[in-house]
Amino acid sequence: MPKIYLSPSTQEYNRYVIGGASEEENMNRLADALVPYLDELGIAYDRNTPDMTARSSIQQANRNGGYDLYLALHSNASPEQFAGMLQGPDIYYNPADPESRRAADLIASEFRRIYPQPQLVDVRPTDYLGEVLRPNYPSVLVEVAYHDNPEDAAWILNNFDAIARALANAVQRFVNP
C-alpha cells in the first residue's frame, strides 16, 4: 500500500489577510479535507501535529520510514515590498531528485485545472527549503497560494475540497504511475 507523510504548516503566526485564521489552521483544514480522499484511494499516511515544527516533522518522517512521498502543505506570503500583490501556487521540489520533480509536476498539472489563473501555477526547484531537501523520500512543498493576497486567500478558503481532491489525484498518479 502506498504511504505518504503529510506535513501541514506549523506556522501559527502567519495570518490570512481575510478570515483571521493562521496558515497553520488553514493548512490543517486542508489536510483534514485531503485525508478522506487518501483513504478512498487506498493511500496510507502519517501526519504531523500542530505542536510540531518543520524540523520535528522531518525527523519524525525520517525516523518512521517507508514513505513514497513527503507532502508539505503551506500558503505563501509575499516579500514585504510586494505584500498582497503576488498570486498563484508555487510547488517546490528537490532538483537533485527526479521523483521530487515528477511529484511537483503532477501537483502543478492538477492545480492548473482548478486555480483561476492556471498560468500562475509554478514549479520551482529549491536549494534552501528543509521540508524539500531533508526528508529521506521524494518530497515537495506546496505553497497553495498567497495568504496575504485577498483574491488568493479567498480562493484557498473557498476551495479546500477542490484543492484536496487535486492533491489526492496528483498523489495517486505519483504513487501509481
Residues forming beta bridges with residue 46, ordered by sequence position: 5
Q: Where in the chain are the domains? A: 3-175
SS3 40: helix
Angle (CA) 135-171-159 rounded to 5° is: 110
Whether pLDDT at 157 is above 90: yes
Helix (H) or strand (E) holding 118: none
This model's pTM is above 0.95: yes
Using only the alpha carbons of the chain, give its radius of gyration.
15
**Mean predicted confidence (pLDDT) in 90-106:** 98
Q: How far is residue 148's CA from residue 16's CA, in Å, rounded to a whole number?
A: 6
* CATH no. of 3-175: 3.40.630.40
pLDDT in tens, 1-50: 999 999 999 999 899 999 889 999 999 999 999 999 999 999 999 999 99
Q: Which three cell numbers stand for residue 37?
A: 480522499
**How far, CA to CA in Å, does 29 sit from each of 9, 26, 96, 160?**
11, 5, 31, 7
